[in-house]
Structure formats: C-alpha cells, structure tokens
Amino acid sequence: GNRTFTMIKPDAVKAGNIGNILQMITDGGFEIKAMKYTQLTEEQAKEFYAVHSERPFYGELVEFMTSGPIVAAILEKDNAVADFRSLIGATNPAEADEGTIRKKYASSVGENAVHGSDSDENAKIEGDFHFSADEVVA
C-alpha cells in the first residue's frame, strides 16, 4: 500500500479521544508504520503550516497546534491519502459526513481533531518532517 501522515490534534488529545480515533483509523484498514506522542514547538508548527502563512488564521492555527500534545503517525493503506481524507471528513466538522472522525470528534473549523495529508508528495514531506528512517517500521 502507500502512505499518508496524520496528527491527532491538541483538542482531541485534551478531550481524551486518542484511543477512539486510533480505533477508527485501524478499523478503517490503515496500518500504523510510525507513531509518536509529542508537543510541537512554535518553530515546528510554523514550518509545518508554512503553506498557510498568508492566511488570516495562520497565527491562530500555530497557537492551537502548539497548545498541547499531539499524536503524529505514518499510516499505510492502498489509496492512503484519499481514503484517509474520506475517513476524517471535511475541514469544517459542520460540513463533515456522518461517521467521519471530524463529525464525531471535532468542534470547529480551527479545532478539527485530526490532520490528513492532501497529496502523496506532502505525505512524504510531512512524514519525513516528524520521523527519522529508524522510527518507521519495515
């Protein structure tokens, strides 16, 4: 299969939903290839979200993503990027389909429980940003 990168964001960690979200991920057929529990520094969050640096919500996004611990993971499945974005649902939980992770566990467009890479190219860049080769299982 191919790979995507995810983060369980600080809102979902604080709400006690790490276990529920990981269960939905594994039930969805994704295999965990790497995982860590960590808190992003301001520098890391700014770099990770640099593509959004001109957006009005950038400061809020960086503040939110550094507000508490996250779970970062590399996931493997056929069609991983698209299938994972289907599993998580729309960016705004109000527009997310029933049964998606964001519909269940996100509270707003900013605090939306999970990240999922938007392309194979970004999945590789984002996975490499968070994990060294020896942290990924064979």
With CB under 5 to 8 Å by kind, the binding choice for 97 among Mg ion, ligand GTP, none is: none
80-109 residues in contact with ligand GTP (CB under 6 A) are 91, 109
**What is the x/- site pattern for Mg ion, positions 64-103, by CB under 5 A?**
----------------------------------------
- Active-site position among 106, 115, 126, 131: 115
- Distance of alpha carbon 58 from alpha carbon 130, whole angstroms: 20
Task: Count other C-beta atoms under 10 Å from residue 45's C-beta.
Answer: 20
Q: Is 115 annotated in the active site?
A: yes
Q: Quote the tokens at residue 110.
A: 């900013």
Q: Is residue 123 exposed (0-12), middle (13-18) or buried (19+ Cβ within 10 Å)?
A: buried
**What is the x/- site pattern for ligand GTP, positions 29-68, by CB under 6 A?**
-----------------------x----x--xx-------
Q: Quote the tokens at residue 53.
A: 């640096």
Q: Is residue 50 exposed (0-12), middle (13-18) or buried (19+ Cβ within 10 Å)?
A: exposed
**Active-site residue set:** 115
Binding residues: 9, 57, 85, 91, 102, 112
